Structure 1
Amino acid sequence: MQLPIKAILVFHATARAGSISRAAEELSVTPSAVSQQIQLLEVQLGVSLLAKAGRGVALTEAGERYFSMISEQIERIEEATGTIRGFRSVTTLTIRATPTLSNKWLLPRLGALLDRHPDLEVRLDGTNEPTDFNQELVDVELRHGNGRWPGLFVEGLAEERFLPVCAPEYAAAGTLLPADLLAHRLIHSVKSQAQWTGWLQLAEVTPGERWRRVLFDRSHMAIDAAVRGMGIALESTLMMQDELKSGRLVCPIAAPPDLRIVTQWIVCPRDHLRQKKVRQFLDWLREERDAWQASQTG
């Protein structure tokens, strides 16, 4: 079946505008032409997409579902078209990074990059999904993993130290032995490369048959849970620098085992390194990384 591309684009514009007349004005066509295209799409799909609502229109349940399913793809087409026309290729830098790195490390520093390069427009996409650089308009990714992605430029961001941490009200710094942790609720980051089982093994502690635990699929959630006194988390100093510096988190173990891993990686196709905007970002990122490493002790 041939896709009714024009009708789909007209529906998207109408749903976004919430009005047939406003969509017609945006598309430089008549309201009648907009209505005809939407009717054509409804006939092809076999469902009603819009219903009258006062002077405007509202999405039906099917319309809501369809709009949510196509919106991201249409916006990517619009962005790709602008890039090919040359409007955005120089000034727009699209970065993909994990949600925790985006929230806890990159976002607090991003203003310095924008101040240094005021002509640079940054789009930060916070997700754990790895980029398909052949299909997606992403310039550079900060990817969580083991660093083995053949065919791409890969550079470790920083070596992270993983520590047990909690709110000082939950347990004061340096007051517990590793074996004492088994009597406490342990906060787990289920996607982290550093897990409690491995840390306890380094500490020569055998876990019991039952755990008191709470599990999160994002490290930033585990960090926030520890700040709220929910238990003791095992997290990276890279991700919780602000919480450690402010004293909202402390390490309750007097002499914790030294667990260090590189879990975040700079990733992009090698030809992206020729782009000025990518080089500017990487130069800034390495400076920030070096400054962070210099601030670490122990």
Structure 2
Amino acid sequence: MLSVRAFEAAARHANFARAGEELCVSAGAIGHQVRLLEEWVGRGLFVRGARSVELTELGRRYFLEVRSLLEELERASLSLRNAADDAEVTVTAMPSFVTRWLMPRLGRFRTLHPRIEVRLLASVPPVDFAKDRVDLAIRLGAGAYAGFVSEALLPETFHAVVHPSLQDGLRKPRDVLQCTLLHDEYETRIPEQMDWPRWCAAQGLGVAAQRLRQGLRFSHTYLTLDAAAAGQGVAVASDVLAGDAVAQGLLVRAPGVPVEGPYKYHLVHPRTSADRPQVSAFCDWLRQEAANFRRTAGAPPA
């Protein structure tokens, strides 16, 4: 079974290293298991390249059959789990999204569905849905999550934000740089995330890179926003994470044109998760909350 699971992951990713990352083993271990399977079958299943692998015709047919069987196995496992745990939904999202967007809205879900228990995990990707017993994940990215259902929920629009006491004297974007700059050490490492150099470029400001590296740094966006709300400086933040604080008057938007972020928050789950009524109910509620937020925040469609 281990060899079959290694084969399926390698076939899906077309890469032994990425398959190893998913299964928490080395690329060499994946290659070893695949070779064992090929020896047992007596035929090659992959054509190996320098940086990727490609299925042979036999491997392609086998992959389709294996994937179908694994989905059936997952469905049977979920059915067994549902029998003992039919009123719980487990959701994982990045810490800042949990604290700044999802958690403040959960009370509305409990009002609508008082019998469904929510288990909320603040975690950084990747997530092992089976091992961690997770039904749904909310992730920031481009939307390509191989092997899973993914749908866009929320786009990001970025603004510079400060405590109201610091807005005096901020008349144009360059004035923002008079404040202490607050920096995110992002929770998830994906290319081209918004930072001060990209915000300045969008404003047409030519600023020395050394100046833009100065200031305070934080491991999570919610910490950066807490510092901004405490009057410690100015942060570049998305409307998704800072929008509630702006609406409550804890932060104000500084001068500058809004900047569309390169990524969106996505709802991600195994194909079989939505078969559970409580998971389907949470997904429906989440879509409605996201639509309400986009409408009130004036954000573009997801």
Same fold (TM over 0.5): yes
- Over the residues paired in the alignment, what is the CA RMSD in angstroms? 2.3
| Aligned residue-pair number | 216
For residue 148 of structure 2, what is the aligned residue in structure 1? 152
- Displacement of 1:224 in angstroms is 0.7
**Native 8 Å contact 2:197 2:209 kept in 1:** no
For residue 296 of structure 1, what is the aligned residue in structure 2? 297
- Displacement of 1:210 in angstroms is 2.5
**Native 8 Å contact 2:161 2:237 kept in 1:** yes
Q: How does 1:1-298 map to 2 (within 5 A)?
A: 84=80, 88-172=84-168, 175-191=170-186, 193-211=193-211, 212-253=214-255, 255-297=256-298
Larger C-alpha radius of gyration, 1 or 2? Answer: 1
Question: What are the superposed Cα offsets for residues 223-280 of structure 1, whole Å, 9 maximum, x if unpaired?
Answer: 1110001110000111122210121111121x42432444321111111122211110
Identity %: 29
Letter of the aligned partner of 1:104 in structure 2?
R
Letter of the aligned partner of 2:289 in structure 1?
E
Change in CA separation of 1:102 and 1:248 when aligned onto 2, cut-off 3 Å: same
Question: What are the superposed Cα offsets for residues 121-170 of structure 1, whole Å, 9 maximum, x if unpaired?
Answer: 11000111321124220000111233221111111121121100000112
Deviation larger for 139-148 or 256-265: 256-265
Letter of the aligned partner of 1:263 in structure 2?
K
- Displacement of 1:176 in angstroms is 3.1
Q: SS at the partner of 1:128?
A: coil
Change in CA separation of 1:121 and 1:88 when aligned onto 2, cut-off 3 Å: farther
Partner Cα distance (1:152, 1:118) in 2: 28
Letter of the aligned partner of 2:199 in structure 1?
W
Deviation larger for 118-127 or 205-214: 205-214
Deviation larger for 144-153 or 230-239: 144-153
Q: Name the TM-score, length of structure 2 as normaliser.
A: 0.66
Letter of the aligned partner of 1:256 in structure 2?
V
**Native 8 Å contact 1:163 1:256 kept in 2:** yes
- Displacement of 1:91 in angstroms is 0.5
Change in CA separation of 1:94 and 1:208 when aligned onto 2, cut-off 3 Å: same
Partner Cα distance (1:237, 1:139) in 2: 26
For residue 66 of structure 1, what is the aligned residue in structure 2? none
Kindly report structure 1 stretches of 4+ aligned residues shifted beyond 6 Å: none
Q: SS at the partner of 2:236?
A: strand
Partner Cα distance (1:112, 1:88) in 2: 26
Q: SS at the partner of 1:263?
A: strand
Partner Cα distance (2:238, 2:172) in 1: 20
Q: SS at the partner of 1:270?
A: coil
**Native 8 Å contact 2:228 2:234 kept in 1:** yes
Q: SS at the partner of 2:298?
A: coil
**Native 8 Å contact 1:156 1:262 kept in 2:** no
Change in CA separation of 1:171 and 1:133 when aligned onto 2, cut-off 3 Å: same
